[in-house]
Structure 1
Amino acid sequence: MERKVNEVLIIIKQGDITKEKVDAIVNAANSALKMGGGVAGAIRKAGGEKIQQECDKIGYCPLGDAVVTNGGKLYAKYVVHAVGPRYGIDPEPEKNLYNAVYNSLKKGEEKGISSIALPAISTGIFGYPLDEAAEIILKAVKDFCEKEAKSIKIVVMCLFSDKDLKVFEAKCREIC
């Protein structure tokens, strides 16, 4: 599914984010920037240890924020590590998920990229309900495209499962 917001093409698809042909991919990170399981583990495996080594140098990223490292062996030049909330544990989950997505796009914009791919941040091991998360994530993407996007022309929502894809497509019809 594709939608245009201002001059930005939003693409919603199922796939492996580590194989996306974009300038940057977003990692669903934890505050310690340790790339263990889920999306982070897949990015570390595909991109190599240099990404984790750079994360170790940075050391920490606050909830709702994002930091940038190189893309290692990935096609993507950069990995943006966005720290979303752990549902039912971290405070203000809606605000912090929105901020994690918005700030990851902002960090990409600061690097002058034209394309970026995002996963469904916080919906895996962080337990955020998919339906709610899809709405918040897409609202943050839309708001960014309307307010701040200059260099970014393509935003890919790269989703792991068919279920995730269907939920995001339905929400995009309402929001985008």
Structure 2
Amino acid sequence: MELRVGHVRVLIKEGDITEEDVDAIVNPANSLMVMGGGVAGAIKRKGGDVIEREALRHAPVSVGEAVATTAGRLKARHVIHAPTMERPAMRTTAEKVRRATKAALLLAARMGLRSVALPAMGAGVGGLPVRDSVRAMLSALRDNLDRLSGLQEVRLVAWGRDAYREFVEAAKEFGEG
């Protein structure tokens, strides 16, 4: 599914975020930058320990801030780490996801990136329902368009068919809102 939010093309797809060939993928991190489980663990396994070692040098990173690292063996050029929770395995909220997404997108824009891919921020380990996550991410994109001039494409990557259906439903609801 594809939609436009201002000047940005938003592509919603099912897949593995660690396989995305974009300028950056976004890691819904914890403030300590420990990459143990969920998306962070998958990024570390596929891209290598170098990503976590580099991220740890920036710790702690508050919710609402973001840092970028290299992407190791991933196809993406960078990993943007945007905490959705303060400590590993904490529950998160839609507001924290909105703040984390905003921080990731603004950092991507400052870096001059044209394409980024995000998972359902906060929906795995963080326990947020997928639809709430997607609505918060799209809201962050819409509310900060004027500061994202170079960004051309945002991919929202759903892990599995059920999650993909939730992404699509949330996007439809967002478009009607």
State the TM-score, normalizing by the size of structure 1. Answer: 0.91
8 Å contact from structure 1 (residues 63, 85) kept in 2: yes
Structure 2 partner of 1:166: 165
Cα RMSD between the aligned structures?
Answer: 1.8
Counterpart Cα distance in 2 of 1:65 and 1:157: 20
Identify if the C-alpha distance between structure 1 residues 28 and 88 changes in structure 2 by more than 3 Å, giving closer, same or farther: closer
Residue aligning to 1:154: 153
Change (3 A) 1:156 1:56: same
Match of 1:22 in 2: 22
Q: Say whether residues 1:60 and 2:42 are aligned partners.
A: no
> Could you list the per-position Cα deviations for residues 116-151 of structure 1 after superposition, in whole angstroms to 9, with x for gaps in the alignment?
00000111111112222222122112223x322211
Percent identity over the alignment is 35
SS in 1 for 2:149: coil
Equivalenced residues, count? 173
Preserved contact between residue 84 and residue 96 of structure 2 (Cα < 8 Å): yes
Aligned to 1:76: 76
> 2:150 is matched by which residue type in structure 1?
S
Q: Say which SS state the counterpart of residue 28 (structure 2) adopts.
A: strand
- Structure 2 Cα separation of the partners of residues 174 and 94 of structure 1: 16
Q: CA deviation at 1:89?
A: 5.0
Take 1:45 and 1:84, find their aligned partners in 2: how far apart are those partners?
Answer: 20
Task: Output the CA distance in 1 between the equivalents of 2:134 and 2:8.
Answer: 19
CA distance in structure 1 between the partners assigned to 2:137 and 2:7 by the alignment: 19
Q: Deviations over 1:139-173 (max 9, x none)?
A: 112223x3222111000001112121111111212
Structure 2 residue 102 is matched with structure 1 residue 122: no
Alignment of 1:40-51 (within 5 A): 40-51=40-51
The SS at the match of 1:11 is strand
Partner of 1:134: 134
- Runs of 5+ unmatched residues, structure 2: none
Contact 1:64–1:85 (Cα < 8 Å) also in 2:
no
Q: TM-score, normalised by structure 2?
A: 0.90
**134-143 or 2-11, which deviates more:** 134-143
Which structure 1 segments of 5+ residues have no match? none
